[in-house]
Amino acid sequence: MINKTAVYVLWVREMKRFLRAKSRIVGALAMPLFFLAFLGMGFSRMNVPGLATDVNYIRFLVPGILGMSILFSSTFAGLSVLWDREFGFLKEIMVAPVSRVSLVLGRIAGGATTTLIQAVLILFISFLVGFKIITVPLFLLGIVFMVLTAVTFIGLGLIFASKMKDMQGFSIVMNFVIFPLFFLSGALYPLENFPRWLRYISHLDPLTYGVDGLRGALIGVSSLSVLSDCIIMIFFSSVMIGLGAYFFEKSESV
């Protein structure tokens, strides 16, 4: 049974940690903004194969950069589990009379909220380089895709964090995981430019559908229908929540 109080308390804890760590906010925004500025300006006047005729590279790139920001922030949210294990907080909450699912949902809610804040900030900053949103309802649909993508990869981060005890090892392993996910998603270039066999592999990547859904919502251009992307992301996020809860329940608190 889900304990709403436990979910809320863990959400508030994550929000306080996020707001108090100003350097974390700046660091989370720096890399996406560098990608957006230098790639966007560098390729803005080039004809990129596979782009729709009415879409310039800046408009194409922004949803991909949002996906990148969400991917990195979400997967490394698993580090909080390792920090809590290191300083004993994990042991305290694991013996609390609440379900492990409630603990997982609280962490996911906090991580998804902080990730969403970072993504929205990047989206607003992208207006300075010429990005425009079609309509407000589609912007809200984009928020839905941001949340689904964040939940999916926070669940993935929890799976790895539940099986590991070394924070440095976690960072190294996650880099080996997230960079292939990022480059296979089509965040920086159209998937149509991939060889056919690589396109098949990219369709196994949840971020592919998150980025494609964001493009469909924010610029009106996507490889699949927005509804298809949404259904697939709901599936991936549900699976990752379930697996994250399972592995977190099996993890050791010390």
Extended beta strands in 80-221, E state: none
Give residue 136's pLDDT: 79
The CA–CA distances, whole Å, from 13 to 26, 34, 71, 106, 220 equal 20, 30, 21, 9, 37
Higher pLDDT, 183 or 254: 183
- pLDDT tens by residue, 24-59: 677 777 777 777 777 766 666 656 655 666 677 788
Question: Do 230 and 142 contact (CB within 8 A), yes or no?
Answer: no
Question: Do 32 and 61 contact (CB within 8 A), yes or no?
Answer: no
The CA–CA distances, whole Å, from 137 to 114, 143, 216 equal 22, 10, 12
Question: Do 154 and 115 contact (CB within 8 A), yes or no?
Answer: yes
Q: What is the mean pLDDT of residues 7-31?
A: 76
Q: What is the mean pLDDT of residues 202-231?
A: 90
- pLDDT tens by residue, 122-162: 888 888 777 777 677 888 999 999 999 999 998 888 888 87
- Closest Cα partner for 120 from 218, 45, 34, 212? 218
Mean pLDDT over the full length of the chain: 80
User: Residue 254: is its pLDDT beyond 50?
Assistant: no
Tell me how crowded residue 68 is: count the other CB atoms within 10 A of its CB.
26
Give residue 58's pLDDT: 81
Q: What is the mean pLDDT of residues 95-112?
A: 77
